Chains A and B, each alone.
Chain A
Amino acid sequence: MPNIYGANASLIAKVMDLRLERQNLVVSNLANINIPGYKARTLEFESQLQQAVGSQDMRNNLSRTSGKHVPGTFDVAAYQGESLKEFKPRTIYGADAVDMDKEMTAMAKNSLMYNALTTVMKSNFEGIQKIIMDGGK
Chain B
Amino acid sequence: MDFMTALDVGGSALTAQRTYMNVISMNLANARTTRTADGQGPYQRKSVALESTRVTPFGKAMDQALGQELQGVRVTGVVNDNRPPKQVYEPGHPDADQNGYVSYPDINVVEEMTNMIQATRSYEAETSTINTIKAMYNKALEMGR
Report the stretch among B4-12, B94-102, B105-113 that lies at the interface.
B4-12
Q: Report the interface size for chain B: residues with CB under 8 A from the other chain.
A: 39
A100 near B52 with CB under 8 A, answer no
Residues of A within 8 A of B6 (CB): 20, 23-24, 27
A103 CB to closest chain B CB (Å) equals: 8
Interface pair B135/A115, CB less than 8 Å apart? yes
Residues of chain B lying within 8 A (CB to CB) of residue A108: 132
Asked if A118 and B10 make an inter-chain contact with CB atoms under 8 angstroms apart, the answer reads no
- Which residues between 77 and 130 of chain B lie within 8 Å of chain A, taking CB atoms? 118, 121-122, 125-126, 128-130
B132 partner, pick from A21, A100, A107, beta carbons under 8 A: A107
Complex contacts, A20 vs chain B, CB 8 Å? 1-3, 6, 136
Q: A41 to chain B: closest CB distance in Å?
A: 6
Contact between A28 and B69, CB atoms less than 8 A apart:
yes
Q: Which B residues are CB-close (under 8 A) to A43?
A: 69
Task: Tell whether A49 is near chain B: CB-to-CB under 8 Å.
Answer: no
Measured in the bound complex, the distance between the Cα atoms of B134 and A107 in whole Å is: 13
Known: A31-B72, A31-B73. A24 touches B132 (CB 8 A): no
B32 CB to closest chain A CB (Å) equals 27
A16: chain B residues within 8 A (beta carbon): 140
Q: Cα distance A120–B61 when bound, in Å?
A: 31
CA distance A26 to B122 in the complex (A): 13
Instruction: State which residues 49-86 of B face A: CB under 8 Å.
Output: 50-52, 55, 66, 69-73
Taking a contact as CB atoms closer than 8 A, the residue among B71, B122, B133 that contacts A34 in the complex is B122
Cα distance A125–B145 when bound, in Å? 9
Interface residues on A, range: 20 to 34
- Residue A74, interface by CB 8 Å: no
Indicate if B23 sits at the interface (CB-CB under 8 A): no
Across-interface contacts of A107 in B (CB, < 8 A): 128-129, 132
A30→B129 contact, CB < 8 A: yes
Given A20-B6, A27-B10, 11 more pairs with CB closer than 8 A: A20-B2, A23-B6, A28-B9, A28-B69, A31-B13, A31-B126, A32-B71, A104-B128, A114-B136, A118-B140, A122-B145
A-B contact pairs, 23 of them (CB 8 A): A21-B66, A23-B132, A26-B129, A27-B10, A27-B126, A27-B129, A27-B133, A28-B70, A28-B72, A30-B122, A32-B52, A32-B73, A34-B20, A34-B118, A43-B69, A89-B66, A91-B66, A103-B125, A107-B132, A118-B140, A121-B143, A122-B143, A122-B145
Write the residues of chain A forming the contact surface with B, with a CB cutoff of 8 angstroms.
16-17, 20-21, 23-28, 30-35, 38, 41, 43, 89, 91, 100, 103-104, 107-108, 111, 114-115, 118-119, 121-122, 125
